[in-house]
């Protein structure tokens, strides 16, 4: 029979509401746009009101068969049922925020649908409706990532608790306590295993987001026009830098009107002036419109201004130095290759070695070359039928530079470069937070990889993370090299 003191203790053991509502973790701290997964099923809007974290419910007298702790657990399970996603996740302020944001955008979209418009306003309306769809999918994707990260965090908490509760032998304790000059033993990696497992999970999520971001950027580029000023006179660059966005837009629109006389004429609503390259960029409504605008004469707007076109690269392996010498690529050689492949209507923009000149073996008898062209159809014909050089037919494959291994020398992770990095500064030698060239450890100190935690620098070819990244990219490359362009 429980005493009054035991009943009071059981009643006060019920967790308050403020421990049930946890602070949301900012998992989207990097400015990365990614391709959204399948749409999530959202719970229909109801009149149910979520409990407030600052308001505690009046305590109820526990029954003889149910303790206060069991009632609190049942209350927590009920609160978890109100989420946007079918995935069970902890209720948080971010969940409520995402649901409200998605509902607000949906209501705005429904209002806009009711507007009856024609002509140019109708095109603007359709574009805005498409933007609303993207925003809703983006919100749902954030919520899905939040749920997954919450599950990862819960798993790590369970793992940490298990490690703490596992009894250690005296030998294990003595081994883990080993130090050098009062500092932890850097050869002992067992204490960091949990951190590296968590980092590996976050890395896989980050790599997936980067892949989706790259694909989204490629899709977006199909609608964009970039006007290049690299070959333009210095006066053109100065004029563009001093002109307002309105003046640049008007001059570009005038060039379009002179080049395209039939209606409807493509309309530019605004431009982006790229700070580093001094180029001009704007977005078209359709891919067909963008393709037409890449072919017009932009020198009407500014002298020397040209449209940047996508280049399609064809790789040729095993070309003898007797047929193409790496240091003797001439205009006459390029025209001769075009003539031998006139059935493909190939127009070569650039011919170069696959490797940079300083990495070529001067004693090599054969080399690999890249032929670049603006014509996707001609490039596809080269992929199908090969290419002829000095009456020698060579097999070809698609140039896929996006599948070359890339490592950031700021955070040491793969998939991006230091110029685009938003991660923490990490030393490639000791994995501490300082620049690699400023590492205070001497050459006799054992290295520690920032990726896998083993005794080698982060750039080592022995690193299991580098090997896995190379295998992943090589698999993607093998899948893509025989796929035709624009497929």
Q: What is the pLDDT of residues 59-88, one digit of tens each?
A: 444 444 444 444 444 444 443 444 444 444
- pLDDT at residue 426, as a whole number: 92
Tokens 């900012």 belong to: 26
- pLDDT at residue 389, as a whole number: 92
Mean residue pLDDT across the chain: 75
Which of residues 155, 176, 198 is at a domain's end? 155
Residue 347 has pLDDT above 90, yes or no: yes
Is 273 exposed, middle or buried (CB count within 10 Å of its CB: 0-12, 13-18, 19+)? middle
- pLDDT at residue 333, as a whole number: 93
Between the two ends of the chain, the Cα-to-Cα distance in Å is 76
CA dihedral 97, 102, 108, 113 (to 10 degrees): -170
Q: What is the pLDDT of residues 98-127, one digit of tens each?
A: 778 888 888 888 888 888 888 888 888 888
405: in domain: no
Residue-by-residue DSSP string for 272-303: EE-TTT--EEEE-SSHHHHHHHTTS-GGGTST
- Across residues 268-290, what is the average pLDDT? 89
- Across residues 355-382, what is the average pLDDT? 90
- Give the number of residues written for the chain: 487
* Domain carrying residue 391: 312-399
275: in domain: yes
Q: What is the pLDDT of residues 6-43, one digit of tens each?
A: 544 444 444 443 433 344 334 334 333 333 444 434 44
How wide is the angle at C-alpha 366 spanned by C-alphas 360 and 368, nearest 5°? 65
Cis peptide before 264 (omega within 30 of 0): yes
Is 123 exposed, middle or buried (CB count within 10 Å of its CB: 0-12, 13-18, 19+)? middle
Residues 290, 325 within the same domain: no
Residues 294, 372 within the same domain: no
Residues 297, 346 within the same domain: no
Element (H, E) at 225: strand 224-228
433: in domain: no
Which of residues 288, 307, 326 is at a domain's end? 307
356: in domain: yes
Q: What is the pLDDT of residues 466-478, one digit of tens each?
A: 999 888 888 887 7
User: What's the pTM value of the predicted model, to 2 decimals?
Assistant: 0.46
- pLDDT at residue 395, as a whole number: 92
* Cβ pair 481, 401 in contact under 8 A: no
The pair of structure tokens assigned to 18 is 């403020």
The pair of structure tokens assigned to 92 is 């948080």
- pLDDT at residue 206, as a whole number: 61
Q: What is the pLDDT of residues 86-102, one digit of tens each?
A: 444 455 677 777 778 88
Residue 166 has pLDDT above 60, yes or no: no
Residues 89, 141 within the same domain: yes
278: in domain: yes
User: Among residues of the chain, what percentage have pLDDT more than 70?
Assistant: 69
Sorted by sequence, the CB contacts under 8 Å of residue 321 that are 6+ apart come out as 364, 365, 366, 367
- pLDDT at residue 77, as a whole number: 42
40: in domain: no
* Cβ pair 426, 407 in contact under 8 A: no
Residue 393, domain CATH: 3.30.70.330
Residues 362, 286 within the same domain: no
Residue 185 has pLDDT above 70, yes or no: no
Q: What is the pLDDT of residues 21-31, one digit of tens each?
A: 344 334 334 33
Residues 277, 356 within the same domain: no
Residues 298, 363 within the same domain: no
The structural domain count of the chain equals 3
Residues 299, 340 within the same domain: no
Which range (104-118, 178-192, 198-212) has the least confidence? 178-192
- Higher pLDDT: 436 or 214? It is 436
b/e burial code for range 54-70 (CB count within 10 A of at least 16 → b):
eeeeeeeebeeeebbee
Residues 250, 319 within the same domain: no
Q: What is the pLDDT of residues 144-157, one digit of tens each?
A: 887 788 778 777 87
For 188, the 3-state DSSP assignment is coil
Question: Helix-strand-coil percent breakdown of the chain, rounded to 5?
Answer: 45, 10, 45
How many CB atoms neighbour CB 131 within 10 A? 12
- pLDDT at residue 120, as a whole number: 83
165: in domain: no
Long-range contact set of residues 434-438: C-beta below 8 Å, sequence gap at least 24? 436/409
Residue 481 DSSP label: T
Residue 181 has pLDDT above 60, yes or no: no
User: Among residues of the chain, what percentage have pLDDT more than 90?
Assistant: 26
- pLDDT at residue 210, as a whole number: 65
How wide is the angle at C-alpha 279 spanned by C-alphas 349 and 419, nearest 5°? 90
Which of residues 94, 126, 155 is at a domain's end? 155
Q: What is the pLDDT of residues 432-474, one digit of tens each?
A: 999 998 888 776 677 889 999 888 999 999 999 999 988 888 8
- Higher pLDDT: 231 or 70? It is 231
274: in domain: yes
- Across residues 391-416, what is the average pLDDT? 89
Give how far Cα 436 sits from Cα of 42, 74, 428, 469, Å.
47, 52, 6, 22
Residues 316, 303 within the same domain: no
Which range in 30-34, 205-209, 458-462, 479-483 is most confidently predicted, on average pLDDT? 458-462
Residue-by-residue DSSP string for 351-395: EEESS-GGGS-TT-SEEEEEEEES-HHHHHHHHHH-EEETTEEE-
């Amino acid at each position: 029979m429980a005493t009054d003191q035991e009943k009071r203790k059981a009643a006060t053991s019920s967790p308050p509401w403020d421990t049930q509502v946890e602070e949301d973790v900012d998992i989207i701290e990097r400015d990365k746009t990614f391709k959204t997964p399948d749409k999530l099923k959202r719970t229909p809007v109801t009149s149910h009101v979520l409990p407030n974290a600052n308001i505690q419910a009046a305590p109820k007298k526990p029954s003889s068969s149910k303790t206060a702790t069991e009632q609190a657990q049942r209350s927590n399970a009920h609160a978890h049922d109100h989420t946007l996603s079918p995935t069970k996740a902890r209720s948080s302020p971010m969940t409520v925020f995402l649901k409200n944001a998605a509902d607000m955008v949906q209501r705005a979209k429904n209002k806009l649908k009711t507007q009856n418009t024609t002509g140019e306003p109708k095109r603007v309306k359709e574009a805005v409706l498409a933007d609303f769809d993207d925003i809703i999918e983006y919100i749902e994707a954030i919520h899905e990532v939040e749920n997954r990260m919450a599950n990862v965090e819960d798993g790590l908490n369970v793992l940490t608790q298990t490690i703490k509760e596992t009894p250690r032998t005296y030998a294990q304790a003595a081994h883990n306590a080993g130090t050098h000059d009062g500092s932890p033993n850097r050869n002992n990696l067992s204490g960091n295993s949990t951190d590296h497992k968590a980092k590996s999970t976050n890395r896989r999520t980050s790599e997936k987001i980067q892949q989706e971001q790259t694909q989204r950027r490629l899709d977006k580029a199909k609608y964009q026009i970039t006007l290049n000023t690299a070959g333009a006179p210095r006066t053109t660059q100065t004029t563009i830098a001093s002109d307002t966005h309105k003046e640049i837009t008007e001059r570009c629109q005038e060039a379009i009107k002179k080049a395209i006389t039939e209606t409807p004429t493509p309309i530019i609503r605004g431009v982006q002036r790229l700070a580093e390259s001094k180029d001009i960029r704007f977005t078209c409504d359709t891919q067909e419109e963008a393709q037409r605008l890449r072919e017009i004469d932009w020198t009407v707007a500014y002298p020397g201004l040209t449209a940047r076109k996508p280049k399609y690269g064809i790789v040729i392996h095993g070309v003898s130095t007797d047929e193409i010498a790496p240091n003797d690529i001439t205009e006459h050689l390029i025209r001769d290759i075009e003539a031998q492949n006139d059935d493909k209507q190939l127009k070569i923009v650039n011919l170069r070695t696959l490797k940079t000149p300083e990495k070529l073996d001067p004693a090599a008898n054969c080399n690999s070359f890249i032929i670049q062209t603006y014509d996707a159809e001609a490039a596809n014909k080269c992929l199908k039928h090969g290419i002829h050089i000095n009456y020698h037919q060579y097999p070809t494959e698609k140039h896929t530079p996006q599948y070359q291994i890339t490592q950031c020398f700021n955070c040491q992770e793969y998939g991006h470069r230091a110029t685009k990095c938003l991660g923490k500064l990490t030393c490639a030698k000791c994995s501490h937070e300082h620049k690699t060239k400023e590492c205070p450890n001497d050459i006799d100190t054992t290295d520690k990889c920032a990726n896998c935690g083993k005794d080698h620098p982060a750039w080592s070819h022995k690193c299991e993370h580098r090997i896995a990244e190379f295998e992943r990219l090589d698999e993607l490359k093998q899948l893509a090299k025989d796929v035709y362009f624009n497929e």
